[in-house]
Amino acid sequence: EYGLEKPQGYSVSFHYNPHVEYHHFGSSHPMKPWRLTLTKELVLAYGLEYTMDLYEPRPASFEELAVFHDREYLSFLSKVTPQNAKPDDPCYLAFGFGGESNDCPVFDGLWNYVSLYSGASLNAASNLLNKQSDIAINWSGGLHHAKKNVASGFCYVNDIVLAIQALLTQNQRVLYIDIDVHHGDGVEAAFASTDRVFTLSYHKFGIDRHGYPFFPGTGNINEMGPTDPANRGKGHSLNIPIDDGIDDDQYKWLFKTVTNAVIEKYNPTAIVLQSGADSLGGDRLGRFNLNIKAHGFCIEMVKSYGRPLLLIGGGGYTPRNVARTWCHETAVCVGAELHDVLPAHIPYIQAFQGEENGGGILYPDLHNTKRHDNLNSGEKLHKLVQEALENLRYLEG
């Protein structure tokens, strides 16, 4: 009815527990789990549920999370509530809570929230392991900043690390690719001492006019993981620092050139792709100028390698465009083309209507909705690609 084609031979699974959407970080906090409701409604309105296997995963257990995280940290996470939290407790700050930015607030149901999104990533990984799916999707995951004993940048538990650890039980080499506008520092740090995971992150990097680095402040081109030759993880990270306002053609060229080279050289047996939607134009926290189809191009390209693929969410702070993008990328996975005019019967349709909300269509022009000047010259990008390819030489033993 909406122009769906037959799936092109890929078995796709969708892992989602709707309880995750009812959690609130606080009224003006940019992270809004409600964007997952909007995403799900678009996916259903286009009939994409008939083209995939749907799973409603159980929450991850304490023991499952302890495969990566420290028990003391998890025990704190499982007990803290807005009522019993003591912001002056030294362990509160040490675990990444409070602080002046309040990036990681304590909210009602926090433990339930982290167990739900992590359970979905673990469920998706096990579907790839037992070959039930070629592509497994969890839009509620992708919380790439969490460390083993510290919450950071809206992330409390690192579902990506947990999923990669699961994939490593049957895969010799896992490639992690991160197109969130922020550096995937937590995943990079977790696998800094192994050559069995290669991490590749594209992100905004630089210092603003007030002297503050763009969060988290790491991920320059020369950061390739440990340099100590005794460390097995040497040269197994690649960071692509990008400036404000990058456009569709530049990003697609950059992504294609560098990602192709990494895949050819590292030859992974499974790929995990974090598809943070804060790299879109008009994102509340982002700085890039990408349109939905340019973002989706990255998924299309990675899919074309035909390796087991775990596709997960991440950032994305303009909910209507997060939903559009992840719906489009779900369609890319199953090989469907979607009609630009949104189906009329979508719940929350008003979130997509009106000039400022994208005029009731799936692919509005997001270019320069936030007027970030493009600070990436062709010359700078060519030099960046050249350096990235040079860094890849460290992969040869």
x/- letters, 268..297, toward ligand VJV (CB under 6 A): --------x-x------x------------
Site string for Ca ion, 154-193 (x = CB under 5 A): ------------------------x-x-------------
Half-sphere exposure of 234 (CA within 13 A, CB side): 11
| Rounded least distance, CB 93 to ligand VJV, Å | 13
- Phi, psi at 106, each rounded to 5°: -90, 120
Q: What are phi and psi of 390, to 5 degrees?
A: -65, -40
Residue 309: which of ligand VJV, Zn ion, Ca ion, none does it interact with, CB under 5 to 8 A by kind? none
Which residue stretch of 60-68, 129-137, 202-210, 232-240 sits at the interface with Ca ion (rule: CB under 5 A)? 202-210
Closest to 45 in 3D by CA, of 339, 276, 315, 297: 339
Active-site residue, 183 included: yes
Check residue 87 for interaction with ligand VJV (CB under 6 A): no
164 three-class SS? helix
Please choose, out of 1-9, 21-29, 41-49, 336-344, the segment that lies near ligand VJV by the rule CB under 6 A: 21-29
Least Å distance, CB 145 to Zn ion, is 8
CB of 166 to ligand VJV, least distance (A): 21
Give first-to-last CA distance, the chain, whole Å.
53
Q: Which of 23, 182, 183, 328 is catalytic?
A: 183
Exactly one of 314, 319, 358, 364 binds ligand VJV (CB under 6 A); that residue is 314
16, 270, 325, 250 alpha-carbon torsion, rounded to 10°: 160
The one-character DSSP state at 287 is -
Q: Which does 28 bind (CB under 5 to 8 A by kind): Zn ion, ligand VJV, Ca ion, none?
A: ligand VJV
Of residues 276 and 313, the one with the C-beta less far from Zn ion: 276
Residue from 253, 249, 294 nearest 275 by CA: 294
Per the rule left: phi > 0, alpha: psi between -120 and 50, beta: everything else, 151 is beta
Token pair listed for 11: 């078995």
DSSP three-state, residue 237: strand
Peptide bond between residue 268 and the one before it cis (omega within 30 degrees of 0): no
Residues that bind Ca ion (CB under 5 A): 178, 180, 201, 203
What are the residue numbers of the active site?
183
Residues that bind ligand VJV (CB under 6 A): 26, 28-30, 100-103, 143-145, 153-155, 180, 182, 215, 276, 278, 285, 314-315
